[in-house]
Amino acid sequence: MSSASVNTRVNTADGGAHVTHRPLGILAALPQELGDLIEAMRGESGVRTITHGQRDYHLGTVHGAPCVVTLARVGKVAAAATVSALIHEFDVEAVVFTGVAGGVATEVRVGDIVVANALLQHDLDATPLFPRFEVPLLGMSRFAADAALAAQLAAACERFVAEEGAASAARFGTREPRVHRGLIISGDQFVASAVAVKALRDVLPDALAVEMEGAAIAQVCHEYGVPCAIVRTISDTADDHAPQSFVSFLTEIAGTYSNAILRRFLEARRAG
């Protein structure tokens, strides 16, 4: 076991020993997407920070759940490297990614929430050797999120919308959030034109949202047999307005959504 692991053997007062719960890995690409999670951890259990591969991993308990919280930074390689470290250095039991994304399906609007059922790399193309989107030698293009974990995450999103959706819409000038479940697509591109997003819609008609990390995380988790789930708040609709919409959503709204969803998700996990 790695020295950094928080899955430690604890000696109890009666001389016996038990193994504490393996932590949950929680990651985002950008600091705003984590909201106040690390501060909440600091207040609850204190934070132990371990730097590994140029990333800070924050270990502690938050909303009653032992967690390792970190930032992947942007893109598929960054995400794959970070989730790999969460698995190998920190022995996480499961991985949850929280962040923002561009809406692809026309019914997915700014302020909505998408919980992935499956993820695909839209920029992976080894044709004609392999079918478009297929990961060569793995024989797969779509990676499923863990059904139970995704259901818990979606339930937390639904509770947030029921309890705070109207207030959040009024506060941020968005429509009342809707929770969607389905395909999230990932690639090493910030999609920011009507033409580009239409092309994605045409080739992947069931895609709900586009971002830059999720499918890489889902692939690594699949390969190591670690459950993962991905939740994305829609910051933009991947069209020509995307850069401004993304920046204002990220700075003003993303943290509020993340706090609200993760608190409900982690509290339910502790209770369950």
Catalytic residues: 33, 236
Q: Kindly tell me which of 91 and 211 has the beta carbon lying closer to ligand SAH.
A: 211
User: Which whole-number Å values give the CA distances from 133 to 3, 130, 158, 217, 266, in the listed order?
Assistant: 38, 8, 31, 16, 33
Query: Is 122:186 a contact under the CB 8 Å cutoff?
Result: yes
Query: Is 82:38 a contact under the CB 8 Å cutoff?
Result: no
Give the residue, chosen from 91, 112, 134, 213, that forms a contact with ligand SAH under the rule CB under 6 A. 213
Is residue 235 close enough to count as binding ligand SAH by CB under 6 A? yes
Is residue 211 close enough to count as binding ligand SAH by CB under 6 A? yes
Q: Which residue, among 261, 197, 194, has the nearest Cα to 230 in the 3D structure?
A: 261
User: Torsion-angle region of residue 60: left (phi > 0), alpha (psi -120 to 50) or beta?
Assistant: left
Is residue 74 close enough to count as binding ligand SAH by CB under 6 A? yes
The phi, psi pair for 96, rounded to 5°, reads -125, 130
Give the residue, chosen from 246, 258, 259, 265, that forms a contact with ligand SAH under the rule CB under 6 A. 246
Residue 250 C-beta: closest distance to ligand SAH, Å: 6
Is residue 102 close enough to count as binding ligand SAH by CB under 6 A? yes
Helix 37-44 to helix 254-271 angle, to the nearest 10 degrees? 40
Residue 103 C-beta: closest distance to ligand SAH, Å: 8
Give the residue, chosen from 190, 206, 240, 256, that forms a contact with ligand SAH under the rule CB under 6 A. 190
At 64, is the secondary structure helix, strand, or coil?
coil
Residue 55 C-beta: closest distance to ligand SAH, Å: 15
- Which residues here bind ligand SAH, judged by CB under 6 A? 29-30, 74, 99-102, 190-192, 210-213, 235-236, 238, 242, 246
